[in-house]
Chains A and B, each alone.
Chain A
Amino acid sequence: MRRGRPLLLLVLAALTLTALDARGGGGLDGVRRTADTLLGPAQAAVSSALGREPDRDVAALEAEVARLTGELRRSEGLQRRVTELDRLLGLTRAGTYPTIPAQVSSTGSAFGFGATVTIDAGSRDGVREGQTVVNGDGLVGRTVRVGPYTCTVLLLTDPGFTAGARLTREGTIGLAIGDGDGGLSYELVEGGAVSAGDALLTTGSDTFVPGVPVGRITSVRADAGALVSTAAVEPFVNLAALDLVGVVTEPPRGTPRVPLPR
């Protein structure tokens, strides 16, 4: 009996904490902030000392530079057209957003349930909860649990992740939801056509800035009698090799659009 008592106390303490935290209200946020202030800098230092990836082959990098230079030239032509079209539509944004660069310092949530990473930027750097996280390839996720020095990013493949997304070819909108297995599923809101190979861009909401590439449709599941068609999406971002990311700090536009000039 004497042996069982500490365990009982600990179980009760843990359950109380969980209940208080699950109820919300942010009463325990101070605990998290303090822990991050103490542990965050140490974790970032150890990560950058131990976790540095070996340099890639120089030849491979040169080949990549050549490929990217070609791509840049091609996209310059496209960029000019985009700028003209944007001006025509009265859009003020230039397609790029101010971002805070950050490094992934550790990955994974408890026992591998869910998909999250910790990055070495926090509220002291201007990061707030619910901001879009991107890298060069596209959407990475959104910020949750922001501490002073670090924050947790919910990756787009997590089952708790949902974002509005538009098909680039068809223009139809729907919801991209993490499937917890390295991909996403895409559900159309109003029905319409989905075809494999089509790409998804974020539509923009109170969380996500619009126009961020999400992923590509790999297969469509057409269930007879189902109200909405569901498609499997492969993210553009390589989550296994996630390193440098950017947190978009500009809030999604809230100003009314300028009417088209006559």
Chain B
Amino acid sequence: MRRVALGAAVLLTALLLQGALLSRLPGPPDLLLVVVVAFALAEGSGSGAVTGFVAGLLVDVSADHELGRVALAYALAGHVAGLVHDRGGLQRRERSALLPPAVAGAAAVVAVTSYALQGVLLGDPRTTIGAWVAAVAATVGWCVVLAVPVVPLVASLVRRLDR
């Protein structure tokens, strides 16, 4: 119950910050995706997929595309990022500061590519190779940067809850 409340609070805060500040920057940065990656790294692939699905639905309901598209993209990205935790990557290399940005970058590629493939299937005129390349570049870049502060922050919140 407390875990659900923590997830909801962090996701809603991220959503409001994303809309008010980050969405005005070029790219734009994707704070929610980084939050999903952070939960996945702290708790594993199951938590990553569920957190991703919920976060994606929050994005979907206020966006101009079909419902469920970002939910699927984030769920896949959260699952992939969580596999690193499942395999004990975080315990073994807990001190490695490079791991969270690398995982966030990989998750960004998964999310954007999944969203773009859905666009191809749905006949979305926005989905072009050029748009995909630009979106991957911008999303990966920002996710790598945002992972540096966000992943430790979420990890400490989750640890505090476990205590």
Instruction: Enumerate chain A interface residues (CB-CB to B < 8 A).
Output: 3, 6-7, 10-11, 13-18, 20-22, 28, 31-32, 35-36, 39-40, 42-43, 46-47, 49-51, 105-114, 116, 118, 144-145, 147, 150, 152, 154, 158-160, 180-181
- The answer on a CB contact under 8 Å between A46 and B115 is no
The 9 closest A-B pairs by CB, nearest first: A17-B68, A14-B72, A106-B19, A35-B61, A18-B68, A21-B66, A14-B68, A47-B20, A114-B126
Interface of chain B residues 94 through 153 with chain A (CB within 8 A): 111-112, 115-116, 118-119, 122, 124-128, 130-131, 134-135, 138-139
Considering only CB atoms, which chain A residue lies closest to B137 in the complex?
A112
- The answer on a CB contact under 8 Å between A7 and B49 is yes
Q: Which of A17, A49, A111 has the most CB atoms of chain B within a 10 A radius of its CB? A: A111
Which range holds the interface residue count of chain B?
35 or more
Q: Which of A21, A36, A49, A160 has the most CB atoms of chain B within a 10 A radius of its CB? A: A21
- The answer on a CB contact under 8 Å between A22 and B122 is yes
- What are 17 pairs between A and B in contact, CB < 8 Å? A3-B46, A3-B86, A7-B79, A13-B53, A13-B71, A22-B66, A31-B67, A32-B67, A36-B62, A110-B115, A111-B30, A111-B112, A112-B135, A113-B115, A114-B126, A160-B126, A180-B126
- The answer on a CB contact under 8 Å between B67 and A17 is yes
Q: Bound complex: CA of A111 vs CA of B130, how far in Å?
A: 13
Q: Bound complex: CA of A107 vs CA of B139, how far in Å?
A: 15
Q: Bound complex: CA of A145 vs CA of B73, how far in Å?
A: 21
Q: Which of B61, B86, B135 has the most CB atoms of chain A within a 10 A radius of its CB? A: B61
Known contacts A51-B21, A107-B24, A111-B112; is-contact A35 B66 (Cβ 8 Å) = no
Within 8 Å of chain A (Cβ to Cβ): is B59?
Answer: yes
- The answer on a CB contact under 8 Å between B20 and A112 is no
Considering only CB atoms, which chain B residue lies closest to A48 in the complex?
B20
A-B residue pair count with CB separations less than 8 angstroms: 158
- The answer on a CB contact under 8 Å between B68 and A108 is no
Q: Bound complex: CA of A10 vs CA of B47, how far in Å?
A: 12
Q: Bound complex: CA of A32 vs CA of B68, how far in Å?
A: 12
In the assembled complex, the CB of A156 is this many whole angstroms from the nearest CB of chain B, namely: 14
- The answer on a CB contact under 8 Å between B138 and A112 is yes
Within 8 Å of chain A (Cβ to Cβ): is B156?
Answer: no
Beyond the given pairs A46-B17, A180-B131, 13 more chain A to chain B contacts, judged by CB atoms under 8 angstroms and listed by A's residue number, are A7-B79, A17-B71, A18-B66, A28-B67, A31-B61, A40-B62, A50-B21, A109-B63, A110-B73, A110-B115, A114-B64, A114-B126, A152-B62
Picked from A14, A39, A105, the residue with its CB within 8 Å of the CB of B56 is A14
The 0/1 profile, CB within 8 Å of A marked 1, for residues 26-47 of chain B is 0110100000000000000110
In the assembled complex, the CB of A91 is this many whole angstroms from the nearest CB of chain B, namely: 34
Considering only CB atoms, which chain B residue lies closest to A28 in the complex?
B67
Q: Which residues of B contact A47 (CB under 8 A)?
A: 19-20
Q: Which residues of A contact B128 (CB under 8 A)?
A: 159, 180
Considering only CB atoms, which chain A residue lies closest to B27 in the complex?
A112
Q: Bound complex: CA of A36 vs CA of B64, how far in Å?
A: 13
In the assembled complex, the CB of B142 is this many whole angstroms from the nearest CB of chain A, namely: 10
- The answer on a CB contact under 8 Å between A112 and B134 is yes
Considering only CB atoms, which chain B residue lies closest to A42 in the complex?
B16
Picked from B19, B30, B86, B127, the residue with its CB within 8 Å of the CB of A118 is B19
